Structure 1
Amino acid sequence: MFKSGAVALFAAAVLSPCLAQADTFEQGMNTMWEVLWHQSGTATRLVRWDQDIKVRMFGVNLGAHKQHSMQALRDAAAEAGVKVIDVSDRPDAAQVANVSIEVVPNSSLSENQPCETRLNFKSETTIDSVTMQMRDSDAYRCAYHESMHVMGVRGHPEGSTVLSYFTKHVDSLEPLDKAMLRAWYSPRTKPGMTPFEVLPILADELVGISPDKQLAKLERDQYLQHTVADMQAFADGRGDVPMIVKACGKATPDGIRYGRMEMSYFLGVAYQQGSSVAKDPGAASIWLERAANMGSSSAKTRLLAAGGAQLAGNR
């Protein structure tokens, strides 16, 4: 099935350069959209650093892994415009570091999850600290993947990205990775932004690296329209999470249930702000009320704020 699909796609590309461009752009947009999803089945808010990264690297066989691991982190941080400071040799490294990278014996982590990165934050906006562990035998192939997570990019999308579980590219960032990081740390993005606020910024970065930018802009607008429609169906219980989220095998019923509530809130914000869709206060209220009825405190807060603003405007 995969081989025949690949052959068909290649044939279409040869016959029609425009189709090839469109297909490539849509694949890139799928990657950009999927990176905004947690494996449990919930779309996430944007989190990122607002301070220098002070990294401490320690553990087993460090001589074999430190140079590559530090280069991976520096490459990712450079795209984001974040400074990386190696404090590993300081006597107080454990106290001053806000990123801890440990290479552990192979027995410490399972083969199914050879590397793990945990982001620590008080609210889902800015990163306070990060802990990363990598198995000795897998540290090289994990370095760029985990460095993307360190920068706050949490998803595991399919496509040409070091974040993909299916990639064999492990020794540098892909163009899509660089575009993600530029969008993540763009002046247009703010910590805590919802997926529909972030997606157009990711899309614009993708347009910027596309050979036919006019065609890419058309594809971008169509993709945003279709994605909003799909997510309205998902939030309403008629649709599903992205296929890659299900394919990872870690989506849970509770995660998806929570994801429907969150997506209702995200749609409300999208219509309220005019992000990915035209501004529509009526649609915003409908989706925010739906999310609030499902238990979203964020939706309740927005509804109260909107009500207060409306009262103030009527005075």
Structure 2
Amino acid sequence: MLACLVPFAASADELGDGLATLWEVLWHQSGTPTRIVRWENDIRVRFSGINVDAHREHTLQALRAVTGEANVKLIDVTGQPDEKTANLTVEITPDDQLEDNQPCVTYLNFKVETRIDSGRVQMRDRDAWRCAHHEAMHVMGVRGHPAGQTVLSYFPWKIDGLLPLDRVMLRAWYSPRMAGGMTPFEALPVLADELVATVPAEQRQAAAQARDAFFANTIRQMHAYATGQGDVPAVVKRSGKSTGEGIRFGRSEMSYFLGIAYLEGATVTRDATEAVRWLERAATLGNRGAQAKLGAFR
């Protein structure tokens, strides 16, 4: 656990970094804050492509690590009579496929942004070993690329195994408190509480206070971002993949998510007036979810 690495009393900055990392996993590299998506059934994986035998066991090790933390059953159906029932495909591609700045990629398929129906991972032959744990995290629905100590980082601290924060993410992502379709402000307290739970009991009250301060600061930043007055989040800048349109859509989504947060009291104190204000702003920007939610009020 994180607390086993450095005592919280000596690492308030590390706790803050951990909370920031958990917030950043809730952002897509296009510049859009995301909802929670996750598997609600067994994962049946099939391997294909070139040189599969050289990468299959290591990739399975990565998939077993993430599914084990999430308590999701993993079944390798490669070469089995029921191979066609696979809902996850891992393809090892030639080295001249994909892009140098994206040697591995995961695609998640879902009819609605709640439950993962199927997925596909592509990894170049020469990069498969270092990509396995990174893509395994994406397979589980964790779509962000945070800067912190996680295999999801663009500048990873570790590539051949999960880090403590990765395990925190997965336990929270698949905990009973989490549900598919949750907004970032609904999901953040679940993630943060999982991290606080790793702190020694005698230091947990201080950690909870640091968590609440982080919530308040994040809300202030997102108020500014949603209105176009604040800076673009660092996780978006680092990706190099955001577009002007993506950021405009992200601001619209953030306005909607703030409305839902105030409506439900998620991360913030429930406030119907604030909820309507943010939903109206999102609706004006063309957000259909906000338009539908406001329609239900009237």
User: What TM-score comes out, normalization by structure 1 length?
Assistant: 0.90
Greater Rg by CA: 1
The one-letter code matched in structure 1 to 2:146 is P
Determine the structure 2 residue equivalent to 1:26.
Answer: 16
Q: Partner residue of 1:191?
A: 180
Q: CA–CA distance in 2 between the matches of 1:162 and 1:136?
A: 19
Paired residues of 1:25 and 1:210 also in contact (CA < 8 A)? no
User: What's the counterpart of residue 38 of structure 1?
Assistant: 28
Q: Matches of 2:264 and 2:160 in 1, distance apart? A: 39
User: Is the aligned partner of 1:251 residue 2:233?
Assistant: no
* Deviation of 1:159 (Å): 0.8
Select the structure that is richer in helix.
1
Cα distance in 2, alignment partners of residues 242 and 28 from structure 1: 16
Please tell me the residue identity of whatever aligns with 2:77: V
Aligned CA RMSD, in angstroms, stands at 1.5
1:255-314, Cα deviation, whole Å (9 max, x unpaired): 11000100000000000000000000000000001101111110111112233xxxxxxx
Find the residue that maps to 1:106 and give its secondary structure.
Answer: coil
1:249, CA displacement in angstroms?
1.1
**Which residue pairs with 2:149 in the alignment?**
160
Counterparts of 1:54-133 in structure 2, within 5 Å, are: 54-93=44-83, 95-133=84-122
Equivalence for 1:296? 287
Quote the offset at 1:209 in angstroms: 1.3
| Offset of residue 241 of structure 1 | 2.7
Figure out how many residues of one structure are paired with residues of the other and give that number.
291
Give the TM-score normalised by the residue count of structure 2.
0.95
Once residues 127 and 165 of structure 1 are traced to their aligned partners in structure 2, the CA distance between those partners, rounded to angstroms, is: 24
Separation (CA, whole Å) in 2 of partners of 1:86 and 1:255: 37
SS at match of 1:38: coil
| Partner in structure 2 of residue 228 of structure 1 | 219
Q: Could you tell me how far apart the structure 1 residues matched to 2:32 and 2:207 are?
A: 28
Provide structure 1 residue ranges, at least 5 long, that are not aligned to the other structure.
1-13, 308-315
Identity %: 57
- Tell me, in whole angstroms, the C-alpha distance in 1 between the residues paired with 2:127 and 2:95: 8
Would you say 1:276 and 2:262 are equivalent positions? no
The corresponding residue for 1:136 is 125
- Cα gap change, 1:205 to 1:302, in 2 (>3 Å): same
The yes-or-no answer on 1:239 pairing with 2:227 is no
* Cα offset, 1:17, TM superposition: 7.4
Give the structure 2 partner of residue 263 of structure 1: 254
Contact 2:227 2:251 in 1 (8 A): yes
Distance 1:17 1:171, change over 3 A: closer
- Asked if structure 1 preserves the Cα contact closer than 8 Å seen for 2:8 and 2:15, the reply is no
**Cα shift at 1:168:** 3.9
1:22 touches 1:215 (CA, 8 Å); kept in 2?
no
Residue in structure 2 matching 1:205, options 194, 198, 203: 194
Alignment of 1:216 onto 2:207: yes
**1:171 and 2:160 equivalent?**
yes
The alpha carbon displacement at 1:210 in A equals 2.3
How far 1:224 sits from its partner (Å)?
0.2
